[in-house]
A and B are shown apart, each in its own frame.
Chain A
Amino acid sequence: MKPFSTMKLAVAFGTAALAALLTAPANAAIVLGGDNGWEVSYGGFINLFFTQSDFDSQVPACAGPTCSEDSTHMQEGLLPAFHTLTAKSPEIGGLKGTAQITFAPDSSGSKAQRLNKGGAMIDMREVFFNVSGDFGTISAGRTLALFQRQAILKDMTLFGVGALVGPDGGGTSLGRIGFGYVYPDFRTRFTYKTNDINGFNLEVGLFDPQETTGTAAEETDTPQFQTEMTYTTGFEGGSFNAWAGFLWQELEVQASTGGATGDIESFGWNVGVDVKMGGFNVVGSYYDGQALGTLLFPNVAQSYACDAFNCEEAENDGFYVQGTYTFNGKTKLGVSYGESNQDGTATGAPESDNSLWTVGVYHDINSWLKVVAEYDHQDSETLGNEADIFGVGGFILW
């Protein structure tokens, strides 16, 4: 075990001070529907898609009936159902508070099991609160992480299907996760975000470090760092938005299957632009780094490997480009292509390349009803399959 360094001590004190600051103003009693200035709201959406897919195995020597499968399936898209409760405080002494809880049940399951995601459990995606003032916003709790957040929020498959893990699976689809960006996931953290500075925003955060096994074989004794900087500006008829993000985490492997021990340093950076002009919208996103994983960080079992002598991180990169055109503010036509790639290591981490083409139509019938038709072609070494997927479905929003 390494000694508790000065750096770690400073981080611990900083975290404690941040926590003390956050709890200080929490002295208001919430009365639902009361006249004390609190505002409580509830919103959400539910979606379901009908998908028709044709899967083929990518295993080179695969032969026989198990190497391909056609599938009709009814399942949710990249988003599960969201149910969000938000409480907003009155402004007192220049401070405004927000508390939010989002639970995300599934509208579908796998073909083999009605219930999914560990039985009747509900995915609690968000449990956090914000305190805002002239200094900016301090946030504590769990919500979508910063690294690659913009990439997923601007992805047109957010309201579609995108890639699938397999033909019969349950829960959400992958969208472009692992086919253009690594899933940011909903993570527990303390963050600080600046107010708007001439179009710039900077958000930095200390995140709960992630382990693969959660056993003593792995040790994480420093927080994970993530940050996101955005710049937005408008012009007559359009807007320009650019962002950059960063992630760092150190994981100490104390016992590996290969025998060696060592530090696994995950780090990544990402950049992107989103340009809107009239009905046209172009989005480009790129990331690079090591030990990020291809689909999910920090599911790092595949993103590093140890042999008898040392442990080595795999290199990762990926991108996607997307072009859409929206007619009458209601009907969006879009096409996108993206890749996520990993280089293999001498110690045994696999090389893995994924790509996805998507063409979709997303139509708002009104302000609370959206219908979607999408075609996707995925080619994934990580999942070991190639598939053509056609999906039609809809969302209701409140």
Chain B
Amino acid sequence: MFSKINIVRFLLALLVTASWSPLARADEDIWKSGLNLYVRLTEQDDAASGRPVPNQHPVNLDPAAIANSLIDIQVWDKHWFKKDEIEEVFSPEQARLLGQQLAIALRKASPGQDIVFAVSRTDTKFLGFRDLSYTAGRAFYSNDRLNIIIGDFMRPPDKFQERATSSAGVMEIKYYFRHGRRDDPSDFESAVMTGDGVEVYNEGGKRRLDWLVIDVNRASAARLAEEKAGEEANAPVSDEALRQEAARFAQERREMRLEMARMRKEVGSGQTGAESTAPIESRLKTLDELRQKKLISDEEYERKRQDILNDL
């Protein structure tokens, strides 16, 4: 029925098919770790209007400048259950890795090539659990700016499937990430804290929150200046007034960027200034104070608090 000779022929045919596959990809790995982490050259994707303008590749950028410009990119997100509303798009480790590898990739890339990447990070979450997540995107240099489109942002791995398969002889699961596209916004819609060389792409008046446009040198310089200001603020200097001024300046910059991001998010979600969260916060604080001073009852407090929250 199925002789031993036929078995050998079957196996050889499989091997030859795999080796001479016509589906060979044109992608070139610049850096790779395991199945799921990489920085890779790939064909330029389509723009919304059709074929995109060729990239300004190859280009020489300083790895440290790229890393510095990425470290400082933050998003503002609304969380009801925690105070810290600011989140880094890239962890310092991710930014350093991308700085090094994107610099190499940008030197090697042709005008018709983009760079796609997937990097991981481990963050401490609720109850101290450490969670791994992946961030993937697309990068290219155009109009004298580094463009990064975020596809998957902090995507968690399928730990249950990983455990089941790794206990079945399959040591690693391959994930396929969304790298973001020029012609189709991804699900990354957090409000980016722009300024200091970091903007979001604006196409015909429509902002693409997933598409970062970075003036690498300016963003890097801003970060270095901020670091310096922070160091000076903490340094034991003789001129106390100067130290306080530097610290205050750094604090004001941070608050201003946060406020700008908040305002953009509100504009994006159709809220008016009168309905913004800042007055609501103020009203909630006032309400808290009134209750603490026992000027209103608990029942009045709860009713009024709900009214305020309904305004959101």
Provide the bound-state CA to CA distance between A103 and B102, in Å: 44
Q: Is the CB of A367 within 8 A of B159?
A: yes
Of A7, A126, A159, A225, which one neighbours B167 at CB under 8 angstroms? A126
Instruction: Name the interface size band of chain B.
Output: 35 or more
* CB-contacts of A70-110 with B (<8 A): 79, 82, 84, 86, 98, 100, 102
Q: Is the CB of A229 within 8 A of B129?
A: no
In the complex, A237 has a CB within 8 A of chain B: yes
Q: Is the CB of A153 within 8 A of B2?
A: no
Residues on B with beta carbons closer than 8 Å to the beta carbon of A128: 169
Q: Is the CB of B170 within 8 A of A82?
A: no
Quick check: which of B3-11, B49-57, B299-307 contacts chain A, the rest being far away? B3-11
Residues on A with beta carbons closer than 8 Å to the beta carbon of B17: 200
Provide the bound-state CA to CA distance between A232 and B1, in Å: 31
* CB-contacts of B17-39 with A (<8 A): 17-19, 21, 23-25, 35
Residues on A with beta carbons closer than 8 Å to the beta carbon of B235: none
Q: Name the CB-closest residue of B to A98.
A: B171
Provide the bound-state CA to CA distance between A197 and B292, in Å: 69
A265 → chain B, closest Cβ, in Å?
6
Q: Is the CB of A198 within 8 A of B174?
A: no
In the complex, B241 has a CB within 8 A of chain A: no
Q: Is the CB of A45 within 8 A of B163?
A: yes
Provide the bound-state CA to CA distance between A199 and B174, in Å: 11
Provide the bound-state CA to CA distance between A259 and B191, in Å: 79
**0/1 string, A27-50, CB within 8 A of B gives 1:** 000000000000000011100000
Q: Is the CB of A7 within 8 A of B131?
A: no
**0/1 string, A232-252, CB within 8 A of B gives 1:** 111111110000101010000
Q: Is the CB of A153 within 8 A of B170?
A: yes
In the complex, B80 has a CB within 8 A of chain A: no
Of A202, A225, A329, which one neighbours B156 at CB under 8 angstroms? A329
Of A144, A149, A198, which one neighbours B24 at CB under 8 angstroms? A198
Q: Is the CB of B25 within 8 A of A198?
A: yes
B165 → chain A, closest Cβ, in Å?
6
Q: Is the CB of B18 within 8 A of A236?
A: no
Q: Is the CB of B24 within 8 A of A82?
A: no
Q: Is the CB of B14 within 8 A of A397?
A: no
The answer to whether residues A202 and B14 also contact, given A45-B160, A143-B168, A368-B159 and a CB cut-off of 8 A, is yes
The answer to whether residues A84 and B164 also contact, given A199-B21, A397-B159 and a CB cut-off of 8 A, is no
B92 → chain A, closest Cβ, in Å?
23
Residues on B with beta carbons closer than 8 Å to the beta carbon of A267: 1-2
B44 → chain A, closest Cβ, in Å?
13
In the complex, B179 has a CB within 8 A of chain A: yes
**0/1 string, A190-203, CB within 8 A of B gives 1:** 00001011111110
Of B23, B168, B178, which one neighbours A236 at CB under 8 angstroms? B178
**0/1 string, B142-162, CB within 8 A of A gives 1:** 000000000100011001110
In the complex, B15 has a CB within 8 A of chain A: yes
Of B7, B131, B163, B179, which one neighbours A225 at CB under 8 angstroms? B7
In the complex, B176 has a CB within 8 A of chain A: yes
Q: Is the CB of A84 within 8 A of B167?
A: yes
Q: Is the CB of B18 within 8 A of A197?
A: yes
**0/1 string, A250-267, CB within 8 A of B gives 1:** 000000000000000101
The answer to whether residues A227 and B176 also contact, given A198-B24, A248-B7 and a CB cut-off of 8 A, is no
Q: Is the CB of A82 within 8 A of B159?
A: no
In the complex, B166 has a CB within 8 A of chain A: yes
B18 → chain A, closest Cβ, in Å?
4
In the complex, B181 has a CB within 8 A of chain A: yes
Provide the bound-state CA to CA distance between A232 and B45, in Å: 21
Provide the bound-state CA to CA distance between A267 and B60, in Å: 58
Provide the bound-state CA to CA distance between A234 and B118, in Å: 13
B280 → chain A, closest Cβ, in Å?
27
Q: Name the CB-closest residue of B to A189.
A: B169
Q: Is the CB of A239 within 8 A of B11?
A: no
Provide the bound-state CA to CA distance between A276 and B158, in Å: 14
Residues on B with beta carbons closer than 8 Å to the beta carbon of A276: 176
Provide the bound-state CA to CA distance between A100 and B166, in Å: 10
B258 → chain A, closest Cβ, in Å?
27
Residues on A with beta carbons closer than 8 Å to the beta carbon of B163: 43-45, 82, 84, 397
Residues on B with beta carbons closer than 8 Å to the beta carbon of A244: 14
B261 → chain A, closest Cβ, in Å?
24
Q: Name the CB-closest residue of A to B25.
A: A198
Q: Name the CB-closest residue of A to B4.
A: A7
Q: Is the CB of A227 within 8 A of B14?
A: yes
The answer to whether residues A367 and B168 also contact, given A199-B23, A237-B178, A248-B7 and a CB cut-off of 8 A, is no
In the complex, A204 has a CB within 8 A of chain B: yes
Provide the bound-state CA to CA distance between A144 and B169, in Å: 6
B174 → chain A, closest Cβ, in Å?
6
Provide the bound-state CA to CA distance between A269 and B31, in Å: 37
Residues on B with beta carbons closer than 8 Å to the beta carbon of A265: 1-2
Residues on B with beta carbons closer than 8 Å to the beta carbon of A385: none
* CB-contacts of B169-187 with A (<8 A): 169-171, 174, 176-179, 181, 184
Residues on A with beta carbons closer than 8 Å to the beta carbon of B174: 232
In the complex, A158 has a CB within 8 A of chain B: yes
Residues on B with beta carbons closer than 8 Å to the beta carbon of A286: none
Residues on B with beta carbons closer than 8 Å to the beta carbon of A231: 23
Residues on A with beta carbons closer than 8 Å to the beta carbon of B164: 79, 82, 153, 158-159
**Can you name 24 A-B residue pairings with CB atoms under 8 Å?**
A43-B163, A45-B163, A82-B163, A84-B163, A126-B169, A128-B169, A143-B169, A153-B164, A159-B164, A196-B35, A199-B25, A202-B18, A204-B11, A225-B7, A227-B14, A236-B45, A236-B178, A239-B176, A244-B14, A246-B10, A265-B2, A364-B160, A368-B129, A370-B160
Contacts A198-B24, A199-B23, A236-B179 supplied; 19 other A-B pairs, CB < 8 Å: A45-B163, A79-B164, A84-B166, A98-B171, A125-B167, A128-B169, A139-B169, A144-B168, A153-B161, A197-B21, A198-B25, A199-B25, A200-B17, A200-B21, A232-B174, A234-B177, A236-B45, A236-B178, A236-B181
Interface on B for A, CB 8 Å cutoff? 1-2, 4, 7, 10-11, 14-15, 17-19, 21, 23-25, 35, 45, 126, 129, 131, 151, 155-156, 159-161, 163-171, 174, 176-179, 181, 184
Closest 4 CB pairs of A and B: A234-B176, A143-B169, A200-B18, A239-B176
